């Protein structure tokens, strides 16, 4: 089954404790992206990756890092999480940048 | 920059009512337009798309027409069901915007039996 898998689905943690949210897709897609969803703001892009070893900032990259060492994986790293990063996060992928994106089921992060 | 404006919710309808959710956009170039749906506790799913002016996207009884003259992509369904209750997002994708999807803020639809 074609899918984008995120882990964990839920996480409660404390300020300053580094965390990583994993994202993996099994569709051999070139393009991957991370979004955060906040009430009243819709979804905003954090980072995106056009291909392996090619990543770039989206609209709200501050406080986040990403890497793309393999085509299937695109982890989101919060080096020193803060409460304003409490949000619902989605990973997405597509075969090409201009094709519709497939979304994971989301990761709800709470930073206390 | 690119932007999407969709009608504020929540929208509450009775089963079999007609649905319209308005969406207008601002973009450079010729964007592709999408409607995504998010059911409770799930990720976003592509509902329909249109890639050029006057294209009509349709799926599961929903329709939307790409209107370049009014920069709009309104979502319609003739007869909603309880199972259509979800959050609906209008979005655009333009090659001139780092290939990112620009989303509207979402519209919560609740359909009552």
**Per-residue pLDDT tens for B23-49?**
999 988 789 999 999 998 888 999 999
Q: Answer whether B49 touches A (CB < 8 Å).
A: yes
Q: What gap in Å lies between CA A25 and CA A28, rounded to an integer?
A: 7
Higher pLDDT, A99 or A65: A65
Tens-place pLDDT, residues A32-54:
999 999 988 889 999 999 999 88
Among B32, B34, B98, the residue with its CB nearest the CB of A56 is: B98
Q: What gap in Å lies between CA B33 and CA B81, rounded to an integer?
A: 24
In angstroms, the Cα distances linking A33 to B55, B107, B108 are 27, 23, 24
Token pair 């519709």 is at which residue? A100
Q: Answer whether B31 touches A (CB < 8 Å).
A: no
Q: How far is CA A57 from the centre of its chain?
A: 12
Token pair 């905003």 is at which residue? A44
Residues linked to residue B10 through DSSP beta bridges, in sequence order: none
Tens-place pLDDT, residues B40-98:
888 899 999 999 999 999 999 999 999 999 999 999 999 999 999 999 999 998 766 56
> So what's the pLDDT on residue A98?
77
Flag if A42 and B98 touch (Cβ within 8 Å). no
């Amino acid at each position: 089954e074609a899918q984008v898998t995120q882990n964990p689905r839920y996480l409660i943690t404390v300020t300053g404790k580094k965390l990583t949210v994993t994202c993996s897709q099994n569709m051999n897609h070139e393009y991957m992206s991370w979004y955060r969803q906040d009430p009243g703001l819709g979804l905003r892009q954090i980072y995106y990756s056009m291909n392996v070893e090619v990543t770039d900032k989206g609209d709200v990259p501050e406080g986040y890092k990403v890497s793309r060492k393999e085509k299937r994986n695109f982890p989101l790293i919060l080096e020193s999480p803060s409460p304003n990063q409490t949000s619902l996060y989605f990973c997405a992928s597509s075969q090409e940048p201009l094709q519709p994106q497939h979304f994971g089921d989301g990761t709800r992060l709470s930073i206390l | 920059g690119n932007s999407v404006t969709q009608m504020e919710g929540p929208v509450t309808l009775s089963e079999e009512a007609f649905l319209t959710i308005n969406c207008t956009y601002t973009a450079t170039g010729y964007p592709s337009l999408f409607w995504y749906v998010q059911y409770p506790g799930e990720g976003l799913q592509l509902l329909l798309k249109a890639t050029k002016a006057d294209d009509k996207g349709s799926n599961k009884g929903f329709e939307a027409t790409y209107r370049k003259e009014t920069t709009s992509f309104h979502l319609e369904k003739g007869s909603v069901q309880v199972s259509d209750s979800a959050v609906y997002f209008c979005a655009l994708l333009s090659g001139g915007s780092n290939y990112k999807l620009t989303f509207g803020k979402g519209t919560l639809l609740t359909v009552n039996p």
